[in-house]
């Protein structure tokens, strides 16, 4: 099977930098994705890492270490609108079906 | 709007009734997923289709649940003899191709079983 671990909640202030960690267990790993979900909204895709290293997309960056089965999402210059749940999702086990973690609730304070 | 659409957005039903939800994926997307999400949890995989073929179902999926995608376009998810534990948000997502890593989600159908 597949499993993921991520913190349940992270708090930060506007303008700060926050890192949300994700560790996973799976066989036949393909890649790790990150999704954002606002309350009452649909999950929206943020990033995907298949290879080790850092991928940067604007204020958001995502990192992967395959050897450590670990990744993180880095959010810079936090804004109030970044308050949301963030999910890591692993693709592995022989299929490209995203398996999601339980999510991290990010609360951004003024 | 060319995104993934789901209907209805909300459904309240009495225990024991059958319910059916519909998902219209992005038109050129050939892979379609159904997920269930409860409060404070991540989306939980239920089943997926590659075109009209249902290729995988979660072991957690009760036989009261059935899904179809008859023409490889829209899909329906039916729950028979609903139970209170079925109360959840049911999310549909689609991707272009079988190795496309970006899934597009609909707004979901929130089911409440009373």
List Cα–Cα distances, B12 to A39, A57, B37, B84, B105, in angstroms.
20, 40, 16, 11, 22
Predicted pLDDT of residue A5:
96
Residues of A with CB under 8 A from a CB of B: 31, 33, 35, 41-45, 48, 50, 87, 89, 91, 95-103
Q: Closest residue of A to B102, CA-based?
A: A45
Chain B nearest-CA distance from A78, in A, is 22
Chain B nearest-CA distance from A96, in A, is 6
From first CA to last CA, the distance across chain B in angstroms is 33
Predicted pLDDT of residue B82:
98
pLDDT digits (tens, 9 = 90+) for A2-47: 899 999 999 999 999 999 999 999 988 999 999 999 999 999 999 9
Q: For the beta carbon of residue A4, count every other beta carbon within 10 angstroms.
A: 22
Q: Quick one: average pLDDT of A59-75?
A: 97
Contact B103 A42 (CB under 8 A): no
Q: Distance between CA B71 and CA B40 in Å, rounded?
A: 34
Chain A nearest-CA distance from B104, in A, is 7
Q: Distance between CA A46 and CA A48 in Å, rounded?
A: 7
Predicted pLDDT of residue B1:
54
Q: Distance between CA B51 and CA B60 in Å, rounded?
A: 23
Q: Distance between CA A29 and CA B93 in Å, rounded?
A: 21
Predicted pLDDT of residue A9:
97
Per-residue confidence in pLDDT tens, chain B, 114 aa: 579 999 999 999 999 999 999 999 999 899 999 999 999 999 999 999 999 999 999 988 899 999 999 988 999 999 999 999 999 999 999 998 777 789 999 999 999 999
Contact A42 B56 (CB under 8 A): no
């Amino acid at each position: 099977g597949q499993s993921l671990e991520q913190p349940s909640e992270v708090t930060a202030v506007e303008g700060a930098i926050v890192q949300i960690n994700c560790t996973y267990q799976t066989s036949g790993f393909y890649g790790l994705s990150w999704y954002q979900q606002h309350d009452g909204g649909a999950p929206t895709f943020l990033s995907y890492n298949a290879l080790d290293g850092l991928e940067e997309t604007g204020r958001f960056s995502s990192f992967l270490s395959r050897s450590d089965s670990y990744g993180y999402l880095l959010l810079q210059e936090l804004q109030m609108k970044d308050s949301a749940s963030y999910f890591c999702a692993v693709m592995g086990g022989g299929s490209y079906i995203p398996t999601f973690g339980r999510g991290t609730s990010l609360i951004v304070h003024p | 709007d060319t995104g993934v659409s789901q209907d209805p957005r909300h459904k309240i039903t009495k225990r024991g009734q059958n319910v059916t939800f519909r998902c219209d994926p992005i038109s050129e997307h050939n892979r379609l997923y159904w997920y269930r999400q409860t409060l404070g949890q991540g989306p939980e995989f239920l089943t997926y289709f590659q075109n009209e073929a249902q290729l995988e179902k979660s072991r957690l999926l009760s036989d009261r649940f059935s899904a179809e995608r008859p023409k490889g376009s829209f899909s329906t998810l039916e729950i028979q003899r609903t139970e209170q534990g079925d109360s959840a948000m049911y999310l549909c997502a689609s991707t272009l191709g079988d190795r496309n890593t970006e899934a597009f989600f609909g707004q979901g159908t929130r089911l409440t079983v009373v």
